[in-house]
Structure 1
Amino acid sequence: MATINVTEAEFPQTIEENDIVFVDFWADWCGPCKQFAPVYDAVSQQHEDVVFAKVDTEAEQRLAAAAGITSIPTLMAFREKVLVFSQAGALNATQFSQLVEAVKGLDMQEVHAQVAAQQAGQE
């Protein structure tokens, strides 16, 4: 699947309506972002069952702030509406492919149980 550009208005719906979503927070002036872009695009072509979104932090400053982006590129992964990965810095193709497979392989029953336990502990 080709990458899609996502705006602040589209972001919640993208997460809600798709099982697995990777999000690349980037900016045009960022050298590492430009190096990571072809890797992100190439890996996206190998996984038709995953949504690969891009957020331009210059155009979507409120979304970047709400997501806590302090360094770019930042890569996030959501699975079943749960943030399961967030890391600043570019990955190479092998690392990124392994990450996609790891997110696909998560035991989401266990993840949801951990989230519920954390929420119960905060109340």
Structure 2
Amino acid sequence: MATVEVTTDNFNDVISKPGTVLIDFWAAWCGPCRMFAPIFEKASEEHPDMTFGKVDTEAQVELAQTFNISSIPTLMIVRDGVVLYAQPGALPEPQLAGLINKVQELDMDEVRAAIAAKEGQA
């Protein structure tokens, strides 16, 4: 599956899809973003069961500000509506593949229980 352009108009629709959603916050002028783009695109082709989206931080300033994106590229991974990963930095292909595998192996019932327990302590 090719990557989808994510905007303020379609962000909620993209992020609320069931399963795993990877979002790449990037900009055309960013060298590391250009290095990461083919790695991200290849991963999208290898995982057609997942949604891969790209947010152009220059065109979608409001989205970048909402998520406090101060360094790009930033990768965000959401599974079943839960943000599991949000870190800046261009990942090499093996590291991205490993991260995707770890996210897929998570027991989301355990993750939600841990979040609920943490929120109960607050």
In 2, distance between residues paired with 1:11 and 1:33? 20
TM-score (norm 1): 0.96
In 2, distance between residues paired with 1:59 and 1:121? 39
In 2, distance between residues paired with 1:22 and 1:96? 11
- Is 1:56 paired with 2:56? yes
In 1, distance between residues paired with 2:60 and 2:119? 29
Shift of 1:91: 0.5
Which sections of structure 2, spanning at least 5 residues, go unmatched?
none
In 2, distance between residues paired with 1:15 and 1:88? 19
In 2, distance between residues paired with 1:50 and 1:70? 26
Aligned pairs (5 A) from 1:38-53: 38-53=38-53
Which sections of structure 1, spanning at least 5 residues, go unmatched?
none
Aligned pairs (5 A) from 1:99-114: 99-114=99-114
Q: What corresponds to 1:74 in structure 2?
A: 74
In 1, distance between residues paired with 2:121 and 2:69? 26
In 1, distance between residues paired with 2:66 and 2:114? 23
Q: Which runs of 4+ in 1 moved over 2 A?
A: none
TM-score (norm 2): 0.96
Matching residue's letter, 2:96: F
In 2, distance between residues paired with 1:40 and 1:55? 13
In 1, distance between residues paired with 2:57 and 2:97? 24
Shift of 1:21: 0.2
- How much identity, in percent, do the aligned residues show? 46
